[in-house]
Structure 1
Amino acid sequence: MAGGGGARQKMINLMYLVFIAMMALNVDREVLRSFESIYLTMESSTGLTTENNNTFYSNISKKAQEEEDYKAIDVKAKEVQKQANDFFTYIESLKTELKGASYQPGAEETDYNLLANSEPVVSLLFKGEGGDNGNANAQELVSKIDGFRQFLLTYVKDDANATKRINQVFSTEAQGKGKKSWLQEKFYDQPMVAALSNLTKLQADARTEEGNIVRDLLAGKLKEKIELNAFEGMFLSPGIVKVGDEAVLNVVLGAFDNSVTGSVQTSVGSASIVNGKAAIKLNTGSVGIHKLTGNLTYKTASGETKSVPIIPSTYQVVAQTLDVKAAEIIEKDPTGGSIVADNLRVVYRGVENPVSATINGANGPVSMTASAGSLSGAGANKWNHMPGSGNEVVFTATAKASSGKTLTVRETFRVKPLPPARGVVMGKTHAGVPQASLASQRVRVDWPDFLFPVKGEVESFSIKVPGSPIERVNGNSLGGASSISKAKRGDNISIINIKYKSSLGQSGDASIVSIEVL
């Protein structure tokens, strides 16, 4: 700016100074408005995350009432919820004290002097004993953050990525070399709106990590149910053998998984599992019905040793085969026979389950009834069963012997719902996807290792991209999410609340999907 020039030049210089000051004031107002907008947006996003987390808590609590296995998960989930709520409430109390009674969030006539004022922050965290290094309130804040971080780490100790993320997000260490402490960097001489934003970010991060943990608790249990509890030890005995003939008992786990290794201990001997089954020679030295009981011990994919009881069964040793002396055997054991579910002693609700029936010594066709649901013929001695309500169904098979006597066999089967679908991207629950290919990916569902050909289509899902609020997307394309374009290499994207409809017309929720951006 030129100097001198008399009264006129001095007036021009003064006008320049006033103009520059007015521009600076306007910039300050815009900065404050932006800070306030970020703060309010984070509060709104945190509220949505809280609602989503509460849905998972409700699902776990409901499952715990229905199934004993979920009670331990429910206890852990409630502890996570309590710790997260306590931390959230503590931070909220600091925000309330900072804002006081004068601040009206989002009001059109926002008091920018109040937002810019650093005195409430200094008074709350730095006045009194401790001074610039932080008073008792400040030290309590650091202690609460450190304590919550340590609590979270106990739930992710086996996950290196989650451990690294939590240590970074909830770090209270100084970031520079010999420079300001974390407290001074985040709060000292900061305007009130900046302090509110920093505190709200702590709340948002707490809710996000809370959600990650509770989803992992539920997803881990569902994985265990699908991969382990769906299997049961089974005897595959010959049923009836002639006295003195060689007979072999096969013992398998569930749906005959040939990758299983371990051993079986039974009432007729022990053996190692080879190619998914253990073979034990039966004692055929005496006529009669012999009971089979035992346990199957195997190793899971993680190396853990599990032991499950084998469903009790019987085998019968007879003096001659049925085609020679059927009438004599019928008189001794008129109810001999079996009912076999083609897919284990379980029928699944919502699908047609093939069921077969045979009766020893029957002289004619076998008829079948079910205590619940409906039966339709599927060939000689075969039916398709569609389960109804209830947790069990009793099948009753009847036939006539050559003597005219009615032979009857009854067996009880469990009725189970279809297992939950698994959410996948590129066929995986934890996928690595190049940044450039994100928008072209689709969220799908499948039923791994399930015995029935069930398919499904994803109707909608929610997506959480780091730095963006949770977004709901209709359809199955990641490209339908506006926040997908903001994902950066190294980000971990969560796909949650996956809604699908199966090929059987049933709707459900699939397990979560995690994507690492490459």
Structure 2
Amino acid sequence: MAGGKQTPRQKMIGMMYLVLTAMLALNVSAEVLEAFVLVDNGLNQTLKSFRSKNEDYYNLIAAAEKNNPAKAKKWMDKSAILKEKALELCKYIEEVKVKIVKTADGETAEAVSSTGVDGHKVLAKSDTSVPANILLGPNENGDAYEIKKKIEKFKTEILGLIEEKDRFPVLVQTINRILDTQDPPLSKDGEKRTWASIRFEGVPLISTLPLLSNMQVDVLNCEALLLDHFFKQIDAQDVRVNAFDVVVVPEASTILKGETFKASVMLAAYDKTQLPTISVNGASCKIEEGKGIYEAIGNSLGEKTLKCQVIVKGPDGTPQKYEKEYKYQVIQPMFTVSPTKMNVLYRGIENPVELSVSGVPNENVMVEISNASIRKAGGVFLVEPGAGRECQVRVFAKIGATKKLMGTSSFRVKQLPPPTPRLDGASSKTISKSILMSSLGIRAEMPQDFDFDLKYTIRSFVITGRSRDGYDQSESSNSAAFTSSQKAILANVTSGQRVFISEIKAVGPDGRVVELNDLVYKIR
């Protein structure tokens, strides 16, 4: 029959078969269809929330622009562009929803109103042909592909509104993720899929509404992210204050005799767009970015007083005066060196040493040391002595462009104390045979009162015990664990006999191999 001409009856039967097959394939219950309606209603509520939230942001930015156009106008202009682009894209997606419903339910579809599309009133909820024809089209020329182009264009345009993108990688990544329109990978059977097809191919009409509404939510979400960013940038440039105080920020509160005192005198929460009048002890200061720069040479020792005055214009243009005193000390040069562990340096390890010079920032303190290597780690110096018996420390301070010697100090150099050998599991010199047999071997521990947490590794040791024939037997191990031969010796010892552990060698963090004290245990 397939090779011949079909009668009208046969054609009708074939068409009915196709229709029934499609109905079976799309046997979607009314409850499921209504669930799509509920999802779309929830997304529409989210859209209303975003619109309200975003409108609040627009009002805040507009108010900031009105109060201070110099700082906020740029962000006001950017937000206006953003609003236009977001509104344009959301409107187009809404028009596609209306088009789908009107095509399926007719031009006078009850589900369409001035406020949007009401999913409950859609008649052709389960229709799959109308959304496919409109959104996908016969040759991938449907409205879904146009939506994709518009989303990509919108993404490019709004990312272009972000200045110095490398400073805000999270914002850029978030927008790229929300507005991602990349096609998915090939299916398992090698079929090509598109961003549009995986969303709209073979789905009932009512399910396309929440999909399209979710795209509108994504647009408004990105709009909210950018509005928040714009508003924070206004705040970043405009510190809002309700109280004022004069702050003096010196490079050092104590200076050395003959050196120059330098400080920044400013009004806390100051505005760089204003140029205040600042004076110290009656002399005007040079103004740099709203801050007064004051300098004075410390020709004499003792406490010095600065009488600072800052005059700024208030909101109404009236000059407002703020005054404060600041005191600093001029002292003789001195320095301190204090080891953080003890008054000696141990050879073979890095010894932490704290160094400070009074009145000099830590970053301007430099150290030279003999018979040792030294490096800085965080707030301390790590010193590893060499072969000599003493280290000479010389401390320098960078003051201005000059490097000055502040003093010297000597440290004794000692070898690390040897660790104490321990039998794993033993707590005294008398031990039961069961504990002895279950012991894993020998370990090395540093003395309890030693300040460094050092690890020694047992290299070798010898076990000596009495055999059943009454002869002493010895076996060696080249690790910290008992060998099978040593275990055999331990198995032969009886109550009252002694086990000797000798020739114990361990290697420490300095790489030296040291021989430790012997151990003797009596079998209980």
Give the TM-score of the pair, scaled to structure 1: 0.42
